[in-house]
Amino acid sequence: MLDLSNVSAPIEHANGLPNACYIDDNVYQHEQDTLFRNNWAAIGFGKDIASVGMIKPLSFLGIPMIMVRTQAGDINVFQNVCRHRGMILIDEPQQLRGPITCPYHAWSYDLDGNLRKTPHIGGPNIDTLDSVQHCDYSLNKVRSHVWNDIVFVNVGGDAPEFSMQMTDLIDRWREFDQPIYHGGADSSFSFDLDCNWKLAVENYCEAYHLPFIHPALNSYSRLEDHYNILDHDNYAGQGTTVYAPQVSDTGARFPTFEKLSSKWDTGAEYVALFPNVLLGVHKDHYFNILLTPDGTGRTHEQIELYYTDPVALGDEYAEMRANNARMWRAVFAEDISVVEGMQKGRRAPAYDGGKFSAVMDESTYHFHKWVARELSA
């Protein structure tokens, strides 16, 4: 059993998570069974199933799932298995033109998961059977919630309601509770990282590394302009009072969110929502990052950029969107060698989790304490 007691000591005396939390398969499985299963974790984006009947299969915690857009425009998440013989229902993203139909015996379900047809179940051309009442065999629903186009699930089913658990962050960014619009193909990109997922979170939480890893970003959003965000147990990050990148040679700007307070004229904030979401808010655009762990030493990082007004999706802003995407891709790419280098370092047996700066590492320490608490519960 891991001894994580020193992780939660006061920051001046604490050590970070031990090496086993990054390289041990048993610890990784324990994470899957606890902090990913018991909390609200992200599995995808609404923009990937934008229209009614669009459906996307995925795997989360080893469970086959589907996300589907309903007739009402909502998103449902189900286990991706037929209630008859456990056959996988959907094997690739697609636009459905009818019900969700099992390829094995053609049992079919509507977009809300209700069983609608069971062909020949009672014999040739007999589609009903007293012992199989359709109302008893809907698809197994996964508890889910959509916030800012991110699809979250709580597999364990016992977490507080999403809006209750995330109240602090929702309130903090209440001004941004407005429609957002995905920027299109060039506003979507990804990286496959040779590191444990936690290192991507830790790196994102702090601004300490800006001058050394992100010199271009630090030129217009300097280290000394940043502050730590530590409002609540389940998120942490950093903000800046000065964010003014140049995405157009003419000085043109994207449309901004409506009625923002003056704080956001030049400010921006970046928060890790535990366990696996990284968020960035600015007056004129928003980004969501989904981290998908793949064992102890691999992480898929999916980045999606959103804008405040459909006007920003037009041809007039195409070059600016491309410039903005290139800028963020370059920033996130600069982090790759860092997180992968830290993963390699976790093979050093004498490394004890490291020493925190009580000033500069508060947000990373905050995340380590959360992980330690969840693993010890």
* 159 φψ region: left (φ > 0), alpha (ψ -120 to 50), beta (else): beta
Query: For the whole prediction, is pTM greater than 0.75?
Result: yes
Would 34 be classed as within a structural domain? no
pLDDT at position 1 over 80: no
DSSP conformation class of 159: S
**Which whole number is the average pLDDT over 200-226?**
91
Check whether residue 123 and residue 248 sit in a common domain: no
Check whether residue 221 and residue 282 sit in a common domain: yes
CATH number at 94 reads: 2.102.10.10
pLDDT at position 89 over 80: yes
Cα separation, 353 vs 19, in Å, equals 7
Would 4 be classed as within a structural domain? no
pLDDT of residue 361: 96
Name the one residue in this structure whose structure tokens are 């804008």: 307
Question: Which residue, 106, 127, 153, sits at the end of a domain?
Answer: 153
Total domains present in the chain:
2
Check whether residue 145 and residue 236 sit in a common domain: no
Express as a percent the part of the chain with pLDDT over 90: 93
pLDDT of residue 43: 98
pLDDT of residue 166: 95
Would 56 be classed as within a structural domain? yes
Check whether residue 342 and residue 238 sit in a common domain: yes
Check whether residue 206 and residue 127 sit in a common domain: no
pLDDT of residue 216: 86
Position 240 confidence tier, pLDDT thresholds 50, 70, 90? very high
pLDDT at position 301 over 90: yes
Question: Which residue, 107, 129, 153, sits at the end of a domain?
Answer: 153
Burial (Cβ within 10 Å: 0-12, 13-18, ≥19) of residue 320:
buried
pLDDT of residue 221: 82
pLDDT of residue 218: 79
> Sheet holding 108-109: strands in order across?
100-101, 108-109, 115-117
Position 266 confidence tier, pLDDT thresholds 50, 70, 90? very high
Position 295 confidence tier, pLDDT thresholds 50, 70, 90? very high
Would 360 be classed as within a structural domain? yes
**Residue 319: what residue type?**
E
Q: What is the pLDDT of residues 303-341, one digit of tens each?
A: 999 999 999 999 999 999 999 999 999 999 999 999 999
Position 217 confidence tier, pLDDT thresholds 50, 70, 90? confident
Q: What is the pLDDT of residues 3-16, one digit of tens each?
A: 899 999 999 999 99
**Which whole number is the average pLDDT over 174-189?**
97
Position 377 confidence tier, pLDDT thresholds 50, 70, 90? confident
- DSSP symbols for 164-227: HHTHHHHHHTGGG-S--EE--GGGEEEEEESS-HHHHHHHHH--TTHHHH-HHHHHHS-GGGEE
Name the one residue in this structure whose structure tokens are 């109240």: 167
Position 274 confidence tier, pLDDT thresholds 50, 70, 90? very high
Position 92 confidence tier, pLDDT thresholds 50, 70, 90? very high
pLDDT at position 219 over 90: no
More confident residue, 348 or 217: 348
Position 186 confidence tier, pLDDT thresholds 50, 70, 90? very high
Would 37 be classed as within a structural domain? no
Q: What is the pLDDT of residues 30-53, one digit of tens each?
A: 999 999 999 999 999 999 999 999
pLDDT of residue 220: 81
Q: Which domain range does residue 323 map to?
A: 169-376
